[in-house]
Amino acid sequence: MEQADVVVVGSGPNGMAAAVTMARGGLEVLVIEGQETIGGGARTLDLGLEVGMRHDVCSAVHPMALASPFLRDFDLRARGVELAVPELSYAQPLDGGRVGLAWHDLDRTVAGLGVDGSAWRSLFEPLVERSDAVVALSMGDKRSVPRELMDGASGLRAALGLARGILTQGTRAWNRAFEDDVAPALLTGVAAHAIAPVPGLAPAGAALLLATLAHSVGWPIPIGGSQAIIDALVADLRAHGGGLRTGAPVSSWRELPAARAYLLDTSPRAAAEIWGDLLPPRAVRSLRRFRYGDAAAKVDFVLSGPVPWETPETGQAGTVHVGGTRVEMAAAESSVAAGRHAEQPMVLLSDPTTADPGRELGGLRPLWTYAHVPHGSDRDVTEDVTRQIERFAPGFRDLVVASRCVPAAEMERHNANYIGGDIATGAVTVPRMLTGVRPAWNPYEVGVPGVYLCSSSVPPGPGVHGMGGWFAARHALRQRFGISRPPVLAP
């Protein structure tokens, strides 16, 4: 019978991070992936819209990858992965030819926000100054106190600033510091990444982390697409003797080779299905009860030219949050939470050619967008997305050469983790971000000795950072193989 030291189910960024960590620990690793292609939420594929053009099927913009302690030690850049950081991290167009701009440079952002510049500075300066402490807190396992916090008064100041920011921006007090509507909109556009009602504590946490990264490491776009990150992980796994098998969806542990540790880059629901008959009933119940969140419907476009934004600076941004004012975005997100499609949905947009001109092909360019919709929605949102963009970029419609929508309900077909179109593999709430599937000292243990959950359902949660895989793998190394020193990840 086939054997390995370690089997990893799923090849998303967390699965690959776990696989690389275990292989670097000197173990024989096999990754088993349900899809025909490797990379889960970080794949870049030819969708058949334009011959030779590649689109990011899920993630496209990578502040989390650039800040991730795991990927920093793995050193993507030394491995030839180019992460192009646009000067303008993100933009928030508003009606009447106005726009909010979050530059990589905090001072430039403050200067552009006029009357609300000082409120923006007071919120972000302590966080940007110690972005390492913000990252350690937000991307930690939520079980240990990061040493960065203890490192001088500024570490503690950053932690307090984060707490204060979450409490103000996550509650009805969120407008108190601002006079105009541009800065609040700029912040709400980032909070909306959580796909949850705003104001809310979890979306505020997401906003503060992502906006801090915008002014520290930046919001990079990998040259060639997100797949470049996965390819680097695959190359390292292979160099350390690991293997990969694709096109093999796993539904029971009986289909898996014998191994001493199993790491699951899957949803909690799949973990319950695969291990169900070996799990204690309580563990099955918590895996099955795990709550999934609202959803995204993806629309990929091919355009014959740049998006004709009313405010030309918007075109310099790597990411554009298309949702209008804070009030409009809050209304859109609360419609979605109530199970209704918003009339003016929250749309996220990225034109990779702003940072990577090589993605243009014969005068045509890919455009990555998605809209927030209720969980399980089967709506084709191409027209909703087009209308929202057109609102701030008149003439957009005329540039569309081809498009393809993946409704939320169909997301699971290309990634089983995105249940009902929930791209965070779990509702983004404070308890989930802290505990994962259930409150436990080790949130990665599933309930069968040697089986660990390592997907974005466990701390620190969604995003392309590999931290769930890294934490789960380190537990597995220690508990199953007696290796307590974390493996060196450098090339």
Give 377's contacts (C-beta < 8 A, 6+ positions apart).
295, 297, 341, 407, 408, 409, 421
370 binds ligand FAD (CB under 6 A): yes
The radius of gyration computed from the CA coordinates of the chain, to the nearest angstrom, equals 21
CB atoms within 10 A of CB 95: 11
366 binds ligand FAD (CB under 6 A): no
The count of residues interacting with ligand FAD (CB under 6 A) is 39
- Minimum CB separation from ligand FAD for residue 38, in Å? 7
**Side-chain-side CA neighbours of residue 418 (13 Å):** 24
* Per-residue buried b or exposed e for 366-380, using 16+ beta carbons within 10 Å of the residue's own CB: bbbbbbbbbbbbebb
Tokens matching residue 441: 């000292």
- Minimum CB separation from ligand FAD for residue 260, in Å? 20
Four-residue CA torsion sign, 378, 382, 383, 386: positive
| Nearest partner of 67 among 57, 58, 59, 76, judged by Cα | 76
What x-and-dash track marks residues 281-320 binding ligand FAD by CB under 6 A?
A: ---------------x-x----------------------
207 binds ligand FAD (CB under 6 A): no
Please say which residue, 210 or 342, places its beta carbon nearer to ligand FAD: 210
249 binds ligand FAD (CB under 6 A): yes
- Minimum CB separation from ligand FAD for residue 273, in Å? 8
- Minimum CB separation from ligand FAD for residue 234, in Å? 12
Residue bearing tokens 């990998």: 222
Which of the residues 440 through 459 are near ligand FAD (CB under 6 A)?
Answer: 455-456
What x-and-dash track marks residues 404-423 binding ligand FAD by CB under 6 A?
A: -----------xxxx----x
Which of the residues 32 through 91 are near ligand FAD (CB under 6 A)?
Answer: 32-35, 40-42, 58-62, 64
- Minimum CB separation from ligand FAD for residue 36, in Å? 10
- Minimum CB separation from ligand FAD for residue 10, in Å? 2
82-90, 140-148, 320-328, 463-471 -> range binding ligand FAD (CB under 6 A): 463-471
Give 93's contacts (C-beta < 8 A, 6+ positions apart).
99, 309, 310, 311, 314, 320, 322, 392, 393
27-35, 73-81, 134-142, 235-243 -> range binding ligand FAD (CB under 6 A): 27-35
d(CA 97, CA 232): 42
- Minimum CB separation from ligand FAD for residue 94, in Å? 23
Please say which residue, 102 or 182, places its beta carbon nearer to ligand FAD: 102
66-74, 264-272, 308-316, 480-488 -> range binding ligand FAD (CB under 6 A): 264-272
Bridge partners (DSSP) listed for residue 93: 99
Please say which residue, 222 or 447, places its beta carbon nearer to ligand FAD: 222
89-97, 149-157, 434-442, 460-468 -> range binding ligand FAD (CB under 6 A): 460-468
9 binds ligand FAD (CB under 6 A): yes
Please say which residue, 250 or 284, places its beta carbon nearer to ligand FAD: 250
Question: Is-cis flag, bond preceding 491, omega within 30?
Answer: no
d(CA 436, CA 434): 6
d(CA 84, CA 354): 10
CB atoms within 10 A of CB 255: 12
d(CA 199, CA 278): 41
C-alpha distances in Å from residue 171, one per residue of 99, 174, 175, 228, 371: 24, 6, 9, 38, 24
Please say which residue, 188 or 267, places its beta carbon nearer to ligand FAD: 267
352 binds ligand FAD (CB under 6 A): no
Angle 112-113-117 (CA atoms, 0-180°, nearest 5)? 115
* Interface contacts to ligand FAD, rule CB under 6 A: 9-15, 32-35, 40-42, 58-62, 64, 249-250, 265-266, 270, 296, 298, 370, 415-418, 423, 455-456, 462-464, 468
